[in-house]
């Protein structure tokens, strides 16, 4: 009997005498276009998970933690993606262009001083985020942690302020990219380049988290190579090894001096420094979509320190030596003028032809990279807020490719603001848009440190051991306390320089609102939600904070066994290797 006959005889076996189809139907093979459209359908949660989420015995915090853990994102980010996102993810216009205005305002010495202090802040803050995120690798990261460990109104205010930041960053970075092109050719209308870069960034994100990861890997690699090359070149130029053969040394520290506007000028530079390293916290958001957050996230977190010290502090120390704070080119024609970049100016001063164009190409890629990150960060934060009931429910829609498609659509809509580049009011519009979220990074970092402090205190109150954690912050709880204190001092100093700016003799109300409106927005969001919900006290006692809901590893004994095995292997290696692994 043939194989087909055997199959027919098996199928034709119904006890009630009804004849079944002789040959089992093969599933219809879909073409690539149909598969593409089907990928936008909602990714379904299993019935078991839905049943558990509707368990009436769960508290609201436990239910939210479970749903955030089960958000159907694709776990497609590899270790190399997280490593490069951590090393070069936030390197963008804040470093390459914004440092120019910081140099002019604060003076040569303000660059290494401010970036060193902010580097210490970022080190403590990102380690705190890494400890909590590696334990709870859930969508939304710090905004979700603020809801759980502080209270929902704080999570609402911080989350939405962070969303606003990225909503404004995307069009501003697209404009910056279009203006950067004018370094080579100013004859083409910048609107044309806006359209090209707008479509490019959205196309990258349509490929899901893998597209974002691969793009960031490439962009970050280019930025890392460029900065390493500049570090070598900068040392050569300072020592007089350039075409001019002139020893630079500390000339610019003597004339016009280390500080151009005294202590107030240094305080102004702090905000620029915080903005330039903003985006480091995206490592925590990315961790929720990595294939193995327990092992990969800590490695990525540890890279932040080296990036701060080598890339930011190292390159900006050389910039302070190579570029005079009174150089008129630092003024630029706009905040996105690549010719105002101190990196480009330093290379031009060195008399090296061709390299300014190379550095400008790196700046262009950096701008696109930040725009790409803005779509990722904003859409994931919106999805997290929606899952917690802090945003419209449509934003919790995640399709079969793991894309929060309505969040991406929201960012795409605000990205259309980039076409205001054709208007002569573009700078005014974006000055006020940025004012809505100008202090977002500082408030975000404050929430990360408070969440970490509350997490550690909850562990202690519930008699839990730190041995249960996959990664512990090198700075510990006191590092988070120190960071929080310095950030609060920053807010007071920013209030001072916003109301009495360097460039104005008296009180400047317009400048105050353009620099401090973000604080008012956060406060209004926090109080507004409390009034709307009529819940004026939502702080959970430390002994009631759910520490097991949403954990990456529920079996603590198995986790501790794995950690012990890893420590034994580490002890068998040399001291130098152990030292390296502790830092990296």
- Domains within the chain, CATH numbers bracketed: 72-542 (1.20.1740.10), 554-584 (no CATH)
Q: What are phi and psi of 24, to 5 degrees?
A: -65, 130
Per-residue model confidence (pLDDT) at position 332: 59
Per-residue model confidence (pLDDT) at position 556: 67
Gap between the Cα atoms of 445 and 487, Å rounded: 8
Gap between the Cα atoms of 83 and 304, Å rounded: 9
- DSSP label of 258: S
Gap between the Cα atoms of 517 and 224, Å rounded: 34
Gap between the Cα atoms of 124 and 221, Å rounded: 25
* Residue among 311, 268, 299 nearest 91 (CA): 311
Per-residue model confidence (pLDDT) at position 19: 41
Gap between the Cα atoms of 444 and 448, Å rounded: 6
Residue with tokens 């909590």, as numbered in its chain = 132
CB 411 within 8 A of CB 164: no
Residue with tokens 């031009």, as numbered in its chain = 348
Which residue pairs from 459-462 have beta carbons closer than 8 angstroms and sit at least 24 positions apart in sequence? 459/547, 460/542, 461/542, 461/543, 462/542, 462/543, 462/545, 462/547
Mutual orientation of helices 190-206 and 152-180 as an angle, nearest 10°?
130
Residue 485: CB partners within 8 Å, gap ≥ 6? Answer: none
Mutual orientation of helices 262-277 and 110-135 as an angle, nearest 10°?
40
Residue 207 in tokens: 């490929």
CA triple 575-576-579, angle to 5 deg: 85
Strand partners, 42: 399
3-state secondary structure of 391: coil
Mutual orientation of helices 110-135 and 98-106 as an angle, nearest 10°?
130
Per-residue model confidence (pLDDT) at position 394: 92
Helix, strand and coil in the chain, % to nearest 5: 70, 0, 30
What is the model's pTM?
0.87
Question: CA-CA distances (angstroms) from residue 335 to 192, 410, 427?
Answer: 20, 25, 8
Per-residue model confidence (pLDDT) at position 24: 45
Cis peptide leading into 256, omega within 30 of 0? yes
Residue 162: CB partners within 8 Å, gap ≥ 6? Answer: 143, 377, 381, 437, 440, 444
* Residue among 3, 335, 26 nearest 173 (CA): 335
Q: What are phi and psi of 469, to 5 degrees?
A: -90, 140
Tens-digit pLDDT string for the chain (584 aa)? 444 444 444 444 444 443 434 444 444 556 777 877 788 888 877 777 777 777 787 777 778 778 887 888 887 788 788 877 776 666 777 788 888 888 998 999 999 999 999 888 988 998 999 899 888 888 777 888 898 899 999 999 999 999 998 898 889 888 888 888 887 877 888 899 999 999 999 999 888 888 888 888 898 888 888 888 999 999 999 988 877 667 788 888 988 889 988 888 898 888 888 888 877 888 877 777 777 777 778 877 877 777 777 788 889 999 999 999 888 888 654 555 556 788 888 888 888 888 888 888 888 888 888 888 889 889 989 999 998 889 999 998 998 888 899 999 999 999 999 998 888 777 777 778 777 777 888 999 999 999 999 999 999 999 998 888 888 898 899 999 999 999 999 899 888 888 888 877 778 888 888 888 888 889 999 999 999 988 888 888 899 888 887 776 666 677 677 777 777 777 778 778 777 777 66
């Amino acid at each position: 009997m043939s194989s087909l006959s055997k199959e027919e005889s098996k199928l034709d076996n119904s006890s009630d005498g009804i004849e079944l189809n002789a040959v089992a139907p093969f599933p219809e093979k879909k073409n690539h276009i149909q598969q593409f459209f089907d990928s936008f359908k909602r990714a379904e949660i299993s019935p078991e998970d839905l049943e558990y989420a509707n368990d009436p015995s769960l508290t609201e915090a436990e239910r939210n933690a479970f749903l955030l853990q089960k958000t159907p994102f694709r776990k497609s980010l590899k270790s190399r993606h997280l490593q490069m996102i951590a090393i070069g993810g936030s390197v963008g216009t804040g470093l390459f262009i914004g440092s120019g205005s910081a140099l002019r305002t604060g003076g040569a010495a303000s660059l290494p001083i401010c970036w060193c202090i902010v580097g210490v802040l970022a080190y403590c803050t990102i380690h705190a985020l890494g400890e909590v995120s590696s334990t709870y690798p859930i969508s939304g990261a710090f905004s979700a942690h603020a809801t759980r460990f502080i209270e929902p109104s704080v999570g609402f205010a911080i989350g939405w302020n962070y969303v606003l930041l990225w909503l404004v960053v995307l069009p501003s970075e697209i404009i910056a990219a279009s203006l950067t092109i004018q370094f080579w050719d100013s004859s083409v209308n910048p609107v044309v380049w806006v359209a090209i870069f707008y479509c490019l960034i959205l196309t990258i994100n349509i490929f899901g988290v893998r597209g974002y990861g691969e793009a960031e890997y490439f962009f970050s690699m280019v930025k890392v190579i460029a900065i390493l090359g500049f570090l070598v070149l900068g040392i050569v130029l300072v020592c007089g090894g350039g075409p001019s053969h002139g020893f630079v040394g500390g000339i610019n520290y003597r004339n016009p001096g280390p500080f151009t506007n005294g202590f107030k000028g240094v305080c102004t530079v702090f905000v620029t420094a915080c903005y330039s390293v903003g985006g480091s916290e995206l490592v925590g958001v990315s961790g929720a979509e990595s294939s193995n957050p327990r092992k990969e996230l800590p490695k990525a977190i540890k890279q932040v320190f080296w990036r701060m010290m080598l890339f930011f502090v190292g390159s900006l120390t050389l910039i302070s030596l190579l570029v005079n704070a009174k150089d008129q080119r630092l003024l630029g024609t706009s905040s996105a003028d690549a010719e105002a970049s101190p990196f480009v100016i330093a290379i031009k001063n060195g008399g090296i032809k061709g390299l300014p164009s190379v550095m400008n190409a790196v700046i262009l890629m950096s701008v696109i990279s930040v725009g790409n990150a803005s779509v990722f960060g904003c859409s994931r934060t919106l999805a997290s807020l929606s899952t917690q009931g802090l945003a419209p429910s449509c934003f919790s829609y995640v399709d079969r490719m793991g894309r929060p498609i309505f969040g991406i659509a929201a960012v795409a809509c605000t990205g259309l603001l980039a076409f205001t580049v054709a208007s002569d009011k573009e700078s005014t519009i974006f000055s006020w848009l940025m004012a809505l979220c100008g202090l977002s990074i500082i408030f975000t970092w404050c929430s990360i440190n408070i969440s970490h402090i509350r997490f550690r205190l909850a562990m202690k109150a519930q008699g839990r051991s730190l041995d249960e954690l996959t990664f512990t912050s090198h700075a510990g709880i006191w590092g988070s306390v120190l960071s929080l204190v310095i950030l609060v001092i920053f807010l007071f100093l920013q209030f001072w320089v916003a109301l009495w700016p360097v460039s104005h003799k008296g009180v400047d109300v317009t400048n105050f609102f353009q620099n401090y409106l973000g604080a008012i927005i956060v406060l209004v969001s926090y109080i507004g939600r409390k009034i709307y919900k009529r819940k004026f006290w939502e702080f959970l006692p430390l002994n009631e904070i759910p520490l097991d809901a949403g954990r990456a590893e529920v079996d603590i004994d198995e986790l501790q066994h794995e950690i012990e095995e890893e420590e034994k292997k580490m002890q068998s290696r040399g001291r130098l290797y152990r030292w390296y692994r502790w830092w990296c």
